[in-house]
Every structure is written in structure tokens, then in C-alpha cells.
Amino acid sequence: MADTKVVVQNLKKSFGDNEVLKGIDMEITEGEVVCIIGPSGSGKSTFLRCLNGLEEITGGTVLVDKVDITNPKTDINKVREEIGMVFQHFNLFPHLTVSENITLAPVELKRMTKEDAHKKALDLLKTVGLSEKAEVYPNSLSGGQKQRVAIARALAMNPDIMLFDEPTSALDPEMVGEVLEVMKKLAKDGMTMVVVTHEMGFAREVGDRVIFMDGGYIVEQGTPEEVFQNTQHPRTQDFLNKVL
Ligand code: ADP
Ligand code: MG
């Protein structure tokens, strides 16, 4: 039996009067790939940010590896080191080379020596197909290459869980595939992943579970087949009709 990595119970999040998450319950098992789909504004990004403590939650609990991240006594930075995050807009440091972007966190946090971190960076760049780009600056890279570097950077901390927030939404269409390929490889290697995406093909092919969020709720979830072929809820069907 695989371990439960994340337990979310009745998670609520408001910004002022705006209740964005209205009671989310979810468990994520080690090695599982969970794809979250849903319309813009439904709370997908907020949900991801609650999983690694980037948002202070309004109610409920979030357990990561049995650690309650909402407990003020929890060292949230320690938890965050276990969770890699990849954003729509790469967020690479422009004044650092690709390898410096990747080694920054492990070296700063004294997880590795500079030499070991550099070696690991080269390994990771090989994994994402960018061996030859270690010493260039991000602005010389295409969007797809930048996003692959961002994935390598997140992996440099040896995370247990990877969160992706629309990692291909800012890319030109011809670059989407190369990023999805890297994510697919990660999934195959057993990484626990939560992926907010509009790539229904990816969700269908790589997702173990698909979650449809709307209006701050999980409206429907199941295997890709259940959600895409045997849709239960009219709101899900309506969304799928628009995006497929
Ligand atoms: P999604 O990722 O599904 O498009 P978001 O989680 O980004 O949705 O946003 C859900 C809602 O939360 C939106 O109404 C948005 O305006 C609001 N929201 C998100 N972040 C903030 C914030 N930092 N301050 C105030 N409102 C926010
Ligand atoms: Mg979003």
C-alpha cells in the first residue's frame, strides 16, 4: 500500500469577503498524478498554493506527510523544501545562468556543496534535455526551454511532491509537447504530482485521477475515463464541451 502524502480536509480560503475555496476534501497517495481542471477563477491556483503554505488558509486542515502545515508550530519552510512548484511564468532569475538558477536553493540552504549541486544540476539538465544550456542565461532560451529549466530547478531540492500550475499555458503551441514529455517522464518515475492544466490530453493520458473544480468546490472527480467519458455532472460536461 502506498502512503498517503497529502490529506486536505474541509479546506476553506477567503480573500476578504470572497470565499474562493468552500470546503475541499482530498487525499493524494504517494506516486499519484492528480490533474485539476476547471474554469478560470474556480480556485485552482489558490488550492495549489494552500498545499505548500503560500496562502494562509481560512479553515480546515492540510496535512503533508502527516505534518499539519496550518499549525503555527510547523516549520513551513521545511515542508516547502519537500514540495517543488512550477508556475505558468517560469520565474527564473534572469541575472543567473541556468546552472546557477538550479543550484541556488540547495546551496543557499546548505543541502549540498557547490560542486555536488553543480553535478546534480547537469544531471537534471540531461533529464530535461538541456545538457548544452547549463552556462547560458535564461533570456537566450525559448519558453519551452525555460519551463524545462524551471522543472529542473524545482527537482534540485529532491522534492517528494511536485505542484504544477498551468505549466504550459504561457507557451507557444509548438513548445507545449516538450514540457509535457518531461512531466510525463517524471510521472513514470513515480513522482507524486498535482497538475493544474488545460491540456486534456495530458490529463487523460498521464493522470491517475482528474478533478474538476468550479466555484471553489470539487464538483466531480474520478479516473480520466470516468470524468471524460462518463461525465456525471452537467457543469463538468459544460466545461468539457468548451475545451475539448
Ligand atoms: P484559478 O486558478 O482557478 O483561475 P484562482 O485560485 O487564481 O483561480 O482565483 C480564484 C479567485 O480568488 C478569483 O476570484 C481571484 O480573484 C481570487 N484571488 C486569488 N488570489 C487572490 C489574492 N491574492 N487576493 C485576492 N483575491 C484573490
Ligand atoms: Mg490559476
Q: Is residue 107 in a domain?
A: yes
The tally of domains found in the chain comes to 1
Q: Is residue 145 in a domain?
A: yes
Bridge partner residues of 86 (DSSP): 164
Pick from 145, 183, 178, 146: nearest CA to 164: 183
Residue 46's pLDDT is 98
| Residues 6 or more apart in contact with residue 63 via CB below 8 angstroms | 6, 7, 8, 9, 69
Index of the ligand 1 atom closest to the CA of residue 38: 3
User: How far is the centre of ligand 2, averaged over its atoms, from the C-alpha of 182 (Å)?
Assistant: 21
SS (H, E, C) the chain: CCCEEEEEEEEEEEECCEEEEEEEEEEEECCCEEEEECCCCCCHHHHHHHHCCCCCCCEEEEEECCEECCCCCCCHHHHHHCEEEECCCCCCCCCCCHHHHHHHHHHHCCCCCHHHHHHHHHHHHHHCCCHHHCCCCHHHCCHHHHHHHHHHHHHCCCCCEEEEECCCCCCCHHHHHHHHHHHHHHHHCCCEEEEECCCHHHHHHHCCEEEEEECCEEEEEECHHHHHHCCCCHHHHHHHHHHC
Instruction: Give the chain's radius of gyration (CA, Å).
Output: 18
| Residue 183 contacts residue 164 (beta carbons within 8 Å) | yes
The backbone torsions φ and ψ at residue 186, rounded to the nearest 5 degrees and listed phi first, read: -60, -45
Nearest CA to ligand 1 atom 12: 20
Q: What letter represents residue 20's amino acid?
A: V
Grid coordinates representing 155 are 527537482
Q: Is residue 19 in a domain?
A: no
Residue 69's pLDDT is 95
The string of pLDDT tens digits covering residues 98-128 is 999 999 999 999 999 999 999 999 999 999 9
Residue 2's pLDDT is 80
Residue 244's pLDDT is 87
ipTM computed for the complex:
0.98
Best substitution site from 13, 22, 45 to test ligand 1's pocket, by max atoms within 8 Å of Cβ? 45
Q: Is residue 147 in a domain?
A: yes
Q: Is residue 57 in a domain?
A: no
Q: Is residue 59 in a domain?
A: no
Residues of the chain with pLDDT under 70: 1
Q: Is residue 129 in a domain?
A: yes
Best substitution site from 14, 17, 20, 211 to test ligand 1's pocket, by max atoms within 8 Å of Cβ? 20
Q: Is residue 183 in a domain?
A: no
Per the structure, the complete domain to which residue 151 belongs is given by 92-159
Largest pairwise CA distance in the chain: 55
Ligand 1 near 190 CB (within 6 A): no
